[in-house]
């Protein structure tokens, strides 16, 4: 520790506030006082703080960046390596205030609508609802929920104020059909169908390499990766049951490599389920860099043939929720809807020299 009692990593590049004003501010706001135990020595400040406060690591980092976390009465960096024994003060509530979603005039392709529900065709690049790790403005704009609030006068409230109408989800970079509930009764009945695996969901995916079997089932539990927290994995015990069925539609041998076009049906709906299951087979979804797909498709150089210039990139995952079938929550009638492959995915298939998929 440097002379004068300073703690390495603590910012002292400007005057923060006097001891008296610190006491005054803390008296006016909620606060948490912690003492770092010896067993947490060598941990980063944000790494220690997240479980200690029962918040996400992103939230801990936000509190630190806003100088609401004091280490020995001074602000510090998230990367500060703790030594044990430090006195940590958190000014204000540790948890975020709950989000209240707001309406936003975003175009929306509505495939079906009645008094009880709607089915929309979500584009890739749109989150279904606000995430937990961004700023309030970023979390609360540009999502499917914002668009739903603009287009529909009523939505169910079962999932809370930040997720009105949301019965199930699609990943941000996955496009396709998603059903939305307009009232609580419909929401509960639709959710019950999903839980009972009565909803039929069909996806189309393009993966790297040639899948050997014409069809198959992946039954592997899915859990969050303990090291890379943005990823899911099938390689850990204690995950949630997940079942995916695939069928080969076409194998492609292109100048950019070998690919397989798959139809995928899922019995369960775990986070990243199709993506992590296909990656576990050694065939990541095209465009899915999180699970091992290359960012660009580069042409192979074959002896005696002219090289194809440039590379092909896809700024999304080649995964599309193309069919959805369920029972209407009020009438019981079966509803079956389909969504064509988006133009950017058709264009990629065209570049790979295969005909369009109907």
Q: How far is CA 194 from CA 3, 53, 188, in A?
A: 62, 34, 10
Contacts 24+ apart (CB under 8 A), 9-16: 9/45, 9/76, 9/77, 9/79, 9/80, 9/81, 10/71, 10/72, 10/74, 10/75, 10/76, 10/77, 10/80, 11/74, 11/75, 11/76, 11/77, 12/74, 16/67, 16/74, 16/75
Whole-angstrom distance, CA of residue 60 vs CA of residue 95 = 9
Surface-to-core class of residue 349, CB atoms within 10 Å of its CB (0-12 exposed, 13-18 middle, 19+ buried): buried
Q: Which two tokens stand for residue 168?
A: 């199930």
Are the CB atoms for 81 and 8 separated by under 8 Å?
yes
| Residue 171 annotated to the active site | yes
Are the CB atoms for 239 and 223 separated by under 8 Å?
yes
Are the CB atoms for 182 and 151 separated by under 8 Å?
no
Active-site choice (13, 114, 115, 171): 171
Are the CB atoms for 62 and 49 separated by under 8 Å?
no
Catalytic amino acids? 171
């Amino acid at each position: 520790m440097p002379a004068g009692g300073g703690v390495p990593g603590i910012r002292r590049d400007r005057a923060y506030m006097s001891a008296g004003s610190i006491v005054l501010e803390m008296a006016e706001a909620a606060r948490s006082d912690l003492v770092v135990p010896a067993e947490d020595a060598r941990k980063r400040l944000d790494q220690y703080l997240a479980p200690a406060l029962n918040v996400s690591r992103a939230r801990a980092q936000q509190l630190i960046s806003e100088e609401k976390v004091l280490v020995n009465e001074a602000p510090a960096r998230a990367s500060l390596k703790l030594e044990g024994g430090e006195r940590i003060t958190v000014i204000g509530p540790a948890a975020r205030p709950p989000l209240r979603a707001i309406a936003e005039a975003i175009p929306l392709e509505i495939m079906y609508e009645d008094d009880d529900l709607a089915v929309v065709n979500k584009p890739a690049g749109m989150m279904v609802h606000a995430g937990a790790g961004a700023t309030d403005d970023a979390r609360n704009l540009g999502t499917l929920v914002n668009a739903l609030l603009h287009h529909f006068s009523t939505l169910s409230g079962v999932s809370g104020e930040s997720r009105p109408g949301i019965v199930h989800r699609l990943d941000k970079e996955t496009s396709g059909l998603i059903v939305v509930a307009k009232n609580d009764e419909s929401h509960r009945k639709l959710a019950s169908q999903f839980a009972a695996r009565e909803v039929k969901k069909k996806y189309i995916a393009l993966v790297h390499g040639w899948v050997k079997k014409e069809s198959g089932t992946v039954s592997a539990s899915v859990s969050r990766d303990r090291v890379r927290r943005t990823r899911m994995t099938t390689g850990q015990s204690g995950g949630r049951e997940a079942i995916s069925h695939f069928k080969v539609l076409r194998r492609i041998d292109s100048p950019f490599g070998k690919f397989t076009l798959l139809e995928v049906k899922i019995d369960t709906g775990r986070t990243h389920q199709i993506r992590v299951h296909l990656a576990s087979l050694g065939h990541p979804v095209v465009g899915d860099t999180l699970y091992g797909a290359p960012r660009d498709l580069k042409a192979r150089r074959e002896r005696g043939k002219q090289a194809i210039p440039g590379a092909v990139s896809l700024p999304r995952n080649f995964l599309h929720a193309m069919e959805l079938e369920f029972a209407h929550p009020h009438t019981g009638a079966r509803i079956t809807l389909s969504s064509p492959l988006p133009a950017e995915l058709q264009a990629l298939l065209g570049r790979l020299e295969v005909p369009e998929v109907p």
